């Protein structure tokens, strides 16, 4: 039987411009780490939450990692899988977690999704991997729902499974794999300010859109999917235009309009808001341009809005969440 397992779940960029709530990709870093071990009493206990500045609940019923872990634990117990896997009639039914937040809160980088994914994956690893990774999705979504109030898988699916994912539908949940062009590089810049996801979602959900706007986004979605299949990064860049959420949210991110211009001027093929912001992302076709774009975006945040920031550059994370030593 495992003593203690550690897992890492990566940050993710959702929406990818036109794909509000239906597109997302995983990045290499940052990400969250969750450790898990068995405990004698049933249910989930959170021994500690670190890296959150004391802002996240340690109550397992309100912590996204705790909720995801409990959801999987219950499934394993009810289905008898845990007993079968551990070769005993009465396997442990309790789990103790340590949740290490290693990414900023309310950043638009899918932080609650990463913690939810890590909570579910840690339990699965502890029990000797009884479920395939994609079967963990509903349990990670149960965690994410606590944070977001609604179910949306555009951060959870890529954080768990890696790559670029499209959520075709929710009833039933259907997650599609999109190809990852090998040359594609992401630039993600996180300015030191916060946007509350719930508020940013309300702005979009309570707005009515003329059909022309919906048509423009559908065209860009089609362009984006075609671009990924063809490996056409120029087309991908032009297809990142979002007429639904971005115009309503960009005012929540000081300096964002200037950051977009700076990214393009430095060679980015396209630039938009990461999830509900305030992080912004851009795409390029090589590492050198990615570094240049990251520097230009950070300067724009500093000069236009007086905001410090950090940048993450690199390829798409195609593996998603994983066990770590
Ligand atoms: N797709 C979501 C949104 C991601 O844009 O509101 C935020 O969690």
Same domain, 201 and 220: yes
Same domain, 191 and 167: no
Same domain, 133 and 230: no
CA distance 246 to 237: 15
Q: Ligand 1: distance of its center to the CA of 274 in Å?
A: 8
Same domain, 137 and 75: yes
Helices (H) and strands (E) in the chain, counts: 11, 11
Strand order in the sheet with 270-273: 270-273, 280-284, 185-191, 309-314
Same domain, 224 and 286: yes
Same domain, 204 and 279: yes
Spell out the residues 6+ positions from residue 188 whose beta carbon is closer than 8 angstroms to its own.
Answer: 11, 13, 27, 109, 274, 279, 280, 281, 311, 312, 313
147: Cα within 13 Å, side-chain hemisphere: 31
The finding on whether 116 has its CB within 6 A of some atom of ligand 1 is no
Same domain, 223 and 150: no
CA distance 1 to 229: 43
Phi first, then psi: give them for residue 200, nearest 5 degrees. -65, -30
Domain count, the chain: 2
Same domain, 38 and 166: yes
Length of the chain: 325
The range of the structural domain enclosing residue 216 comes to 185-314
Mark out the alpha helices in 106-162 (DSSP H runs): 111-126, 137-148, 156-161
Instruction: Extract the tokens encoding 295.
Output: 């520097």
CA distance 322 to 324: 6
Q: Ligand 1: distance of its center to the CA of 14 in Å?
A: 6
**What CATH number is attached to the domain comprising 304?**
3.30.70.890
CA distance 216 to 143: 33
pLDDT at residue 274, as a whole number: 98
Q: Could you tell me the pTM of the whole model?
A: 0.96
Instruction: Kindly report the number of other CB atoms within 10 A of residue 230's CB atom.
Output: 12
Burial class from Cβ neighbours inside 10 Å (0-12, 13-18, 19+) for residue 22 reads buried
Ligand 1, closest atom to CA 273? 5
In the three-class reduction of DSSP (H, G, I as helix; E, B as strand; rest coil), residue 309 is classed as strand
Probe ligand 1: pick from 18, 21, 103, 198, max atoms within 8 Å of CB? 21
Q: Ligand 1: distance of its center to the CA of 20 in Å?
A: 7
The finding on whether 18 has its CB within 6 A of some atom of ligand 1 is no
Same domain, 107 and 226: no
Q: Ligand 1: distance of its center to the CA of 282 in Å?
A: 17
Q: Ligand 1: distance of its center to the CA of 1 in Å?
A: 38
User: How much helix, strand and coil, in percent to the nearest 5, is found in the chain?
Assistant: 40, 25, 35
Instruction: Kindly report the number of other CB atoms within 10 A of residue 111's CB atom.
Output: 29
Strand (E) or helix (H) holding 257: helix 256-265
Same domain, 141 and 231: no
pLDDT in tens, the chain (325 residues): 668 999 999 999 999 999 999 999 999 999 999 999 999 899 999 999 999 999 999 999 999 999 999 999 999 987 777 666 666 656 778 999 999 999 999 999 999 999 999 999 999 999 999 999 999 999 999 999 988 778 889 999 999 999 999 999 988 999 999 999 999 999 999 999 999 988 999 999 999 999 999 999 999 999 999 999 999 999 999 999 999 999 999 999 999 999 999 999 999 999 999 999 999 999 999 999 999 999 999 999 999 999 999 999 999 999 999 999 9
Same domain, 147 and 10: yes
Same domain, 174 and 222: no
Tell me the β-bridge partners of 147: none
The finding on whether 12 has its CB within 6 A of some atom of ligand 1 is no
**What CATH number is attached to the domain comprising 27?**
3.30.230.10
End-to-end Cα spacing for the chain? 16
């Amino acid at each position: 039987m495992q003593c203690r397992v550690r897992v890492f779940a990566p940050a993710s960029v959702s929406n990818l411009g036109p794909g509000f709530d239906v597109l997302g990709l995983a990045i290499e870093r940052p990400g969250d780490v969750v450790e898990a071990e068995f405990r004698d009493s049933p249910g989930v206990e959170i021994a500690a939450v670190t890296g959150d500045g004391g802002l996240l609940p340690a109550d397992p019923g309100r912590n996204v990692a705790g909720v995801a872990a409990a959801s999987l634990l219950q499934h394993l117990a009810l289905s008898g899988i845990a007993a079968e896997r551990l070769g005993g009639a009465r396997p442990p039914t309790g789990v103790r977690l340590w949740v290490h937040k290693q990414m900023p809160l309310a950043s638009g980088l899918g932080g609650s999704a990463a913690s939810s994914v890590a909570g579910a994956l840690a339990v699965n690893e502890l029990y000797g991997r009884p479920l395939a990774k994609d079967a963990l999705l509903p349990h990670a979504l149960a965690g994410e729902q606590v944070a977001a109030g609604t179910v949306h898988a555009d951060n959870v699916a890529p954080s768990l499974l890696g790559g670029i994912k499209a959520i075709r539908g929710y009833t039933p949940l259907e997650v599609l794999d999109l190809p990852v062009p090998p040359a594609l590089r992401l630039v993600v810049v996180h300015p030191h300010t916060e946007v509350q996801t719930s508020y940013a979602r309300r702005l979009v959900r309570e707005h009515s859109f003329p059909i022309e706007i919906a048509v423009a986004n559908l065209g860009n979605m089609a362009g984006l999917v075609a671009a990924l299949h063809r490996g056409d990064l120029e087309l991908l860049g032009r297809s990142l235009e979002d007429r639904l959420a971005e115009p309503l949210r960009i005012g929540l991110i000081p300096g964002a309009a200037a950051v977009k211009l700076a990214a393009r001027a430095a060679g980015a093929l396209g630039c938009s808001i990461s999830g509900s912001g305030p992080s912004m992302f851009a795409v390029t076709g090589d590492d050198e341009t990615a570094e240049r774009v990251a520097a230009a975006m950070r300067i724009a945040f500093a000069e236009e809005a007086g905001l410090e920031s950090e940048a993450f550059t690199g390829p798409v994370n195609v593996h998603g969440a994983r066990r770590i030593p």
